[in-house]
Structure 1
Amino acid sequence: MKLWQKESTSVSESVEKFTVGRDKEFDLALAPYDVQGSIAHVTMLGEVGLMTKEDSAKAVQALHAIEKEIIDGQFVIEEDAEDVHSQVEFLLTKRIGEIGKMIHSGRSRNDQVAVDIKLYLRAEVLKIKEDATELFQLLLTQSEKYKDKLLPGYTHLQIAMPSSFGLWFGAYAESLVDDLEVLASAYQVANKNPLGSGAGYGSSFPLNRKRTTELLQFGSLNHNSVYAQMSRGKTEKIVAMGLSCLAATLSKLSMDCCLYLNQNFGFISFPPELTTGSSIMPHKKNPDVFELIRAKCNRIQSIPNELILLLNNLPSGYHRDLQLTKEILFPAIEELKACFQMAVLMLSNIEIKDHILDDPKYKYLFSVEAVNELVNQGIPFRDAYQQVGNAIEKGDFYFDLSKGLQHTHEGSIGNLSTIGIKSEMEKVLQKFN
């Protein structure tokens, strides 16, 4: 029997199957957070007199036991239970009797699932932040390690100007800084408590919402009960935008690695155990990991749009459409975490080719260096440009790389600004506290 079902009515089996959908599958991820929300709510009910202190304590103790079962992998959502909220309440009532029926006072499944999702997203955002930070630190380490290894830079996929692996690794490290700025904002949105908003219009019970905010360690609460319900779906969309930014960086990095591993570039390689082969071509070393990171991260970048399409024409209040946000967003979170872990594995084992720029096809890479040398001798830039351009057209261009490259400004080959990038990241990470 459903929590909302009357004794005189029953629900069509086909309607029940359609409306429940994949909820039970994704509700298992919410189970520990559902219990945490219930513990906070029941504790507050005991403090404001809606339950006796003895009954509240007994319910909290039983809820902690259920929480342990969830952690130990012993919790299941039974066939007759509609969702995780129903399962927890039925389980509690079975174990402690009538007291279990009291825990829903001043609460709706609407604010239950809203608080569950916020707790879940807050925890998952912090995990992704840690994954991104690990990759960031690796990128900075590799940037310093390979700062003297030169490679060609490209614009329009044409040979452009000299770059370095120090500059390349550092670029993606700094990209993660900006991505985490967006994720930190999403964290702040997820870190607000909707519990106590009920079905979206508050309650006549004297609930203490500030107390549940404190117990659940939220940074703040969603003050307006109508907006607390409106934040459902919106929170998921904002978190998805944060994930999308990180996914875009991983996708671009992966595309670079696919190109650089290609024999026509030949800038990098990986140990054989980190690449795959061909069933017909024995020479192949395929960058399957990076191709899949690229593909998965491109899909993740579509998640905000999918959520926008789901949410855009909904009025205020709760609607069952919101149930689908879980099956859109939750798998994307797991995919992104896996992509970060694989990127760390691959880039920890990257092998950089020496003397890439010695190849004659890169001789025009130094045309700007030659122009700048003439400018330093007092020749106006446009005249120097014409002089070098004419030499290239005639096939007379030559640049002596043995003298080295004199790049000194911040963010150039000779001055990677690693300390500055690290400092920016430290400031962003403080926003997750």
Structure 2
Amino acid sequence: MKLWQKSYTLDQQIEAFTVGQDRELDAYLAPWDILGSLAHVQMLTKIGLITEEELAQLQAALRRLYKKATEEGMTVEAGMEDIHSQVEYLLTEELGDIGKKIHAGRSRNDQVLVDLRLYFRSEIEEVTQLMGELFQTLLQLAEQHKDILLPGYTHYQAAMPSSFGLWFSAYAESLVDDLRLWQGIYQTINHNPLGSAAGYGASFPLDRRMTTELLGFEDLSYNVVHAQMGRGKSEQQLSYGIAGTAATLGKLAADVVLYVSQNFAFLSFPDELTTGSSIMPHKKNPDVFELLRARCNSLQALPVQISQLTAGLPSGYHRDFQLLKEAIFPALQQLKQCLSILNYALPHARPAERLLEDERYRYLFSVEAVNQLVLEGKPFREAYQIVGGQIANGTFEPPREIRHTHEGSIGNLCLPEIRAKWERIAQGFPFEQVGEAIRQLLQKA
């Protein structure tokens, strides 16, 4: 069944190529397509295209389909082109001609737009919840290990003293930046395109504000051409969020891989979180973090992939957009997997203690020596020359006492301030309001 079916039969090779992976990927959209239809039929009843009796039957059937889609999953059967066709077919099979009425005032173009935005909202909520778990883990580890010093590096050269508290909380605050980006993406996506039809509206007196409220959107996309241009733009913005968070996670994974190697030995993990070698019995490989690094590197290429799929397209709908699902859906799942495995593995990290007692790190304290001379009254440049001379002639004796007290330094991590920054941004997501709107939509009268 095709919603555009006419009197001729489409060539099978053409159909297979144009449908592509839509049947498989549309399984992700099934619950959201049903929710969109629930809102749409209520609105059609208000404007007189569906009777109250028909509405009651449609609502009951759609709620049963929603329960099936969320609990068991829903597949797009062979012969069906997409999830929109599948849902309408199931309604028509159960209710007869009443099921055929639900498409009035809609195009598959605005159906998929609203499905995607509902789905993306839900995915962003899941992603940010996982980010929040990782954020809390990082802050806990920072507090737990704040007094364990760690060599800090620039140019791969030992540079200045750092600490595990500083290292862990650096990634916590990086997630704050990522959360701010996700909030902006959510605010753009949380606008209702339903009623834009094929991108030029409809001659029915649709009540688009009604469906906006029913689906929990913040506002509607007023201009119908603009609403249609959201296809591709939403995915592009999502790709930035995915890539930005992947960059944070990938850098963290790269640090871990370096820190657990024998030449560094800053960190270790329980044996059961590592893998072995088929010929080297001593090996304990950090495969989880290597795969994290690789997956996150791959995800950082997503914005380029999305922009290339949509580059040069004029306004209006184009079938090119179909391929965006193949890029963005798996990327969202991979990002959630990366966050989940980090949430599982990272709390098992075991920092090494007394690292800076090793002689190879004696020059880490050269800046401490320079600063001490400055505190005693010498100009900085003169103090720098004095300590540099001591290092050159082998007479430098490191002070090995850390006196960092300013905000965000080793001695003043500002963990409560970082937590407060996260909470301020997290409160800006209207997840509760959206969830309540969806609960109301699914609730029986």
Q: TM-score, normalised by structure 2?
A: 0.96
Identify unmatched segments of 5+ residues in structure 2.
Answer: 431-445
Where 2:103 maps in the other structure, the secondary structure is: coil
Partner of 1:343: 342
> What residue identity is the alignment partner of 1:282?
P
Q: Give the structure 2 partner of residue 431 of structure 1.
A: 428
Q: 2:413 aligns with which of 412, 416, 425?
A: 416
Secondary structure (helix, strand or coil) at the match of 1:103 reads helix
Q: Deviations over 1:181-237 (max 9, x none)?
A: 111111111111100000000011010000001110011111110010000110011
Q: Which runs of 5+ in 1 are unaligned?
A: none
Secondary structure of 1:254's aligned partner = helix
- Counterpart residue identity of residue 310, structure 1: L
Q: Against the structure 1 CA distance between its residues 337 and 74, is the aligned structure 2 distance closer, same or farther, given a 3 Å change threshold? A: closer
Which moved further from structure 2: 374-383 or 118-127? Answer: 374-383
Alignment of 1:150-165 (within 5 A): 150-165=149-164
404, 408, 413: which is aligned to 1:407?
404
What are the equivalent positions in structure 2 for 1:289-300 lying under 5 Å apart? 289-300=288-299
Distance 1:76 1:309 in 2: 30
Hey, what's the Cα distance between the residues in 2 that align with 1:138 and 1:39?
40
The amino acid that maps onto 2:294 is A
How far 1:239 moved relative to its partner? 1.0
CA distance, structure 2, for counterparts of residue 412 and residue 67 of structure 1:
52
Residue type of the alignment partner of 2:3: L
Deviation at 1:75? 2.6
- In the alignment, residue 4 of structure 1 is paired with which amino acid? W
SS of equivalent to 2:158 = strand
Given the superposition, is the C-alpha separation of residues 242 and 74 from structure 1 closer, same or farther in structure 2, using an over 3 Å criterion?
Answer: closer
1:134-153 matches, within 5 Å, as 134-153=133-152
Matches within 5 A, 1:267-346: 267-346=266-345
1:102-160 deviations in Å (ceiling 9; x for gaps): 00000000000000000000100010000001000110111111000000000001010
Q: Which moved further from structure 2: 343-352 or 145-154? A: 343-352
Is the Cα–Cα contact under 8 Å of residues 149 and 164 in structure 2 kept in the other structure? yes
Length, aligned pairs only: 430
- Shift of residue 74 of structure 1? 5.2
- 2:4 is aligned to 4
Within 5 A, what are the aligned runs for 1:12-411?
A: 12-73=11-72, 75-401=74-400, 404-411=401-408
Look up the equivalent residue of 2:128 and give its one-letter code.
K
Q: Which amino acid aligns with 1:200?
A: G
Taking the aligned partners of 2:27 and 2:74, their CA distance within structure 1 comes to 8
1:394-423 CA distances to partner (integer Å, 9 max, x unpaired)?
11111132xx31110000000001111111
Contact 1:43–1:57, Cα closer than 8 Å, also in 2: no
Task: Quickly say closer, same or farther: Cα 1:74–1:419, change in 2 above 3 A.
Answer: closer
Please give the alpha-carbon distance, in whole angstroms, between the structure 1 residues aligned to 2:71 and 2:425: 35
Q: Structure 2 counterpart of 1:48, which letter? A: I
Cα distance between partner residues in 2 of 1:354 and 1:144: 15
* Runs of 4+ with deviation above 3 angstroms: none
Q: TM-score, normalised by structure 1?
A: 0.98
Report if the CA contact (8 A) 2:23-2:75 is conserved: no
How far the C-alpha of 1:72 sits from its partner, in A, is: 2.3
What amino acid is the match of 2:190? N
Would you say the 8 A contact 1:407–1:415 is kept in 2?
A: yes
Name the amino acid aligned to 2:181. Answer: V
Tell me the distance in 2 between the aligned counterparts of 1:256 and 1:152: 12
Shift of 1:76: 2.4
